[in-house]
Amino acid sequence: MRIMILGAAGEIGRMVTANLLEQTDFDLTLYGRNVTSRLASSANSRVKLVDGTFEDTATIKANLSDVDAVYLNFVAEDPIIKSLLKIMEEAGVKRFILASVPDLYEEVTGNFQKWYRAGMGKIWQSKLRTAADLVEASDLDYVILRITWLYNQAGNTAVHVTRKGEPFTEAQVTRQAVSQFVTDLLTGKADYHRESLGLGEPGTDYAKPSFY
């Protein structure tokens, strides 16, 4: 298999790359701004580095011909999502995993709700919701990841998964947990298809993230 990571130079993109190289025999296409220099240390026989922006759909499409799945390591609004959906459908790529944020469906509840909405506003009325609606209306084998506030803690891959329609209450989750969950989705170990999933750390039903 070959996986394309869009926005590969981000922290979670780098972690997913490391996981896939260590845990699988997959080939990777790492795409993003100046990745040939920023990710030069990741270059090997299984890795192709491609420079470009999210708006550069011609370059993305040119590198999709042998790709089995795409992970978008960026919270994108509807214009970018609309373009990506079009070129993925044209290229015949079906598996699409993408990062987003909680409250797309007014699902954030409990202690976390007040602090989150004070900072983020009405996500369910934003272009992020429009982007999610576009993905859900597509024919792709998608997984939308509604990821709560992120922090780093080596070795902590604990994750609580909630489905669309279920309340979202967790204030934080580690990048290590998210990157491993993305890896598990790409390998099939986590068996979710055409779903919008909330990702939080178990037991973090706080009023705000512990590091704020």
What the chain holds in terms of domains, given with CATH numbers, is 2-200 (3.40.50.720)
The string of pLDDT tens digits covering residues 57-108 is: 999 999 998 999 999 999 999 999 999 999 999 999 999 999 999 999 999 9
**pTM, rounded to two decimals:** 0.97
Across all residues in the chain, what is the average pLDDT?
97
Secondary element (H or E) of residue 190: none
Average pLDDT value for residue range 106-127: 98
The string of pLDDT tens digits covering residues 23-59 is: 999 999 999 999 999 999 988 999 999 999 999 999 9
Q: At what angle do helices 175-187 and 11-23 cross, to 10 degrees?
A: 50
Query: So what's the pLDDT on residue 43?
Result: 87
Q: pLDDT band at residue 130, thresholds of 50, 70 and 90?
A: very high
